Amino acid sequence: MSARVPRVLAIAGTDPTGGAGQHADLKSIAAMGGYGMSAVTALVAQNTEGVRSVHVPPADFLTAQLDAVSDDVEIDAVKIGMLGSVPVIEAVAGWLGRHRPPVVVLDPVMVATSGGRLLEPDAEDALRAVLGLADLVTPNLQELAVLAGDALASSWEEALAQGHRVAREHGTLVLVKGGHLAGDRTPDALVGPESPEPLVAFDGARVPTDNSHGTGCSLSSALATLQVRHGDWARSLRIARGWLRGALERSAELEVGHGSGPVHHFHHVQEALETWGTVPERFSDELWEVSAPVRREIEELEFVRRLGDGGLEPERFLAYLDQDLQYLDGYSRALAALAARAPAEEARSFFAAGAVSCTETEAQLHRARLRHAGLEGAGAPAGEVTRRYTTFLLAATAAEPYPVGLAAVLPCYWVYADVGRHLQELARRSDAAAHPYADWLATYADEGFQEATRTARRLLDQAARDAGPAVRERMREVFLEACALERDFFAAPAAASRLPGVVAIEYS
């Protein structure tokens, strides 16, 4: 990893509202810790609702801009965006031939959001000729189809096939992005010219937002900057995905425009300002990425799906509540142990309050629901999964280093909140008025719980910054083990309960 600040040049058009083009590029470069520079290829009159007009300066003026930068500054990376004509493309290609930096990322702006082609056929051909000069090409699905000379991909498999075709033809890496596919998943994969399989692939749930203006520009610039730092495209993509997810999740805070608004490039800086600290790469982002397969398994569980759509049998829901009530007792003790070992007052107070909340708030809600069903005090013995999970938490918080204990308890905040969002989405698609668990699912939307999740995550990132490599690796292991236990806990009600008065199903 390079400690030097990456010097990154963005070659792109403008956006007066600041969300796309070189304005997004410069924000992304800065957000990833780089020093951003820019050369203007086109002056664009646009806002969040669309493009109104475009003025392309003479190509020799673009060359003058590029030469002015390279004559004076050592450039570590270049991100190339909108190139609107053959002369402009040739100017950039000629400059790259004379001053090629170590990292070149090309985001081929070829297709408008409406689906219309932005380039004339001769310009498309000229742009294809430039692909081989790039280390990484980052088209959206429509642009990928144009580059592959094929119809728009309707499935992830078709998109991967097109990406491999472009990579082989031009001898470059291609980032295949599935964000425009139908469905609630957003897969990404890096494909190369030689391997028939993706070099690395990621998956995640779609962020529910209409603010996606400039996401392609932002991601490609972030990747260029991170690659200078790390020299590893897979790691750069993992970090960039986590950052962009946060930028999408917090985009509504910006309140910019009436159309598809921009993403919040500096969401992590906002968190730092709120706590008067600094936030470099968040360790929690890495944990979230590596846990994606387990979280997807949770979402696909029959129990979770039927709980969300309201079709879950009451006895299975009550069996879940009974076991969760017993789990909360162990979880409360784990939080109390963590509070006793926390090095700072904020963490001590936070986890101590969490321990009390488990027994005085969450547990009381469970008891009230069981009492209403006539089952108070008639619980089944703790199931095998419940015992295994609570034993794991108590051991991690009492015997492991404090950061490791924190990693063990975080999934009960974070994964629970994520599953809750998924359940609420399923409930919205069903008849909410008739949903038998609507009131219980509504607790997931409680802002206090969401804020507690953000605080727990921030405390983990603080602990990770002071931890050594061995402790951080152990944090990864424990976090993933806790996520797997969350999955097993949700899966257990597929068996039954021995609750008196309830149709027998065993909670294994």
Same domain, yes or no: 86 and 135: yes
Same domain, yes or no: 224 and 365: no
Same domain, yes or no: 223 and 330: no
Decide if 370 is inside a domain: yes
Same domain, yes or no: 309 and 332: yes
Burial class (CB in 10 A: 0-12, 13-18, 19+), 114: exposed
Q: Which domain holds residue 411?
A: 284-494
Residue 505: pLDDT above 60?
A: no
Indicate the range of 116-120, 138-142, 354-358 predicted with least confidence.
116-120
Decide if 423 is inside a domain: yes
**In this structure, are strands 103-106 and 200-202 parallel, antiparallel, or unpaired?**
unpaired
Domain end, chosen from 223, 241, 276, is at: 276
Rounded CA-CA distance 36/216 in Å is 17
Residue 411 pLDDT class (50, 70, 90 cuts)? very high
Q: Average pLDDT, stretch 20-49?
A: 95
Residue 497 pLDDT class (50, 70, 90 cuts)? very low
> How high is the pLDDT of residue 446?
66
Decide if 268 is inside a domain: yes
Q: Average pLDDT, stretch 245-261?
A: 91
- In the chain, % of residues over pLDDT 70: 90
Decide if 499 is inside a domain: no
Same domain, yes or no: 98 and 187: yes
Same domain, yes or no: 389 and 490: yes
Residue 279: pLDDT above 50?
A: no
Q: Average pLDDT, stretch 420-446?
A: 72
Same domain, yes or no: 272 and 310: no
> How high is the pLDDT of residue 372?
74
Q: What share of the chain is helix, strand, coil (3-state, %, to 5)?
A: 60, 10, 30
Is 25 in contact with 219 (CB distance < 8 Å)? no
Mean pLDDT of the chain: 87
Decide if 2 is inside a domain: no
Higher pLDDT, 115 or 337: 337
Higher pLDDT, 323 or 482: 482
pLDDT, tens only, 220-242 = 999 999 999 999 999 999 999 98
Which residue is associated with the tokens 């520079």? 37
Rounded CA-CA distance 412/407 in Å is 10
> How high is the pLDDT of residue 381?
76
Residue 421: pLDDT above 70?
A: yes
Residue 485 pLDDT class (50, 70, 90 cuts)? very high
Q: What is the CATH number of the domain that holds 93?
A: 3.40.1190.20
Same domain, yes or no: 237 and 124: yes
Indicate the range of 182-186, 187-191, 468-472 predicted with least confidence.
182-186
> How high is the pLDDT of residue 498?
38
Domain end, chosen from 256, 276, 296, is at: 276
Residue 495: pLDDT above 70?
A: no
Decide if 91 is inside a domain: yes
> How high is the pLDDT of residue 501?
40
Q: Average pLDDT, stretch 278-302?
A: 83
Q: How many residues does the chain have?
A: 508
Same domain, yes or no: 410 and 341: yes
Is 199 in contact with 234 (CB distance < 8 Å)? yes
Of 206, 211, 368, nearest in space to 292 by CA: 206
Same domain, yes or no: 395 and 313: yes
Q: Average pLDDT, stretch 75-83?
A: 97
> How high is the pLDDT of residue 360?
77
Q: Average pLDDT, stretch 174-179?
A: 94
Residue 253: pLDDT above 70?
A: yes
Q: What is the CATH number of the domain that holds 468?
A: 1.20.910.10
Is 23 in contact with 221 (CB distance < 8 Å)? no
Torsion of CA 136, 140, 141, 145, to 10 degrees: -60
Which residue is associated with the tokens 């034993």? 391
What's the total number of domains in the chain? 2
Same domain, yes or no: 303 and 419: yes
Decide if 505 is inside a domain: no
Residue 273: pLDDT above 70?
A: no
Most confident region among 151-160, 299-308, 429-438 by mean pLDDT: 151-160
Domain end, chosen from 276, 300, 333, is at: 276
Residue 320: pLDDT above 50?
A: yes
Decide if 500 is inside a domain: no
Helix, strand, or coil here: 157?
helix
Residue 96 pLDDT class (50, 70, 90 cuts)? very high
DSSP code for 383: P
Of 230, 157, 224, 163, nearest in space to 199 by CA: 163
Same domain, yes or no: 309 and 439: yes
Q: pTM of the prediction?
A: 0.60
User: In what order do the strands lie in the sheet containing 77-80?
Assistant: 50-55, 35-47, 7-13, 77-80, 103-106, 136-137, 173-177, 188-191, 200-202
> How high is the pLDDT of residue 504?
34
Amino acid at 322: D
Residue 506 pLDDT class (50, 70, 90 cuts)? very low
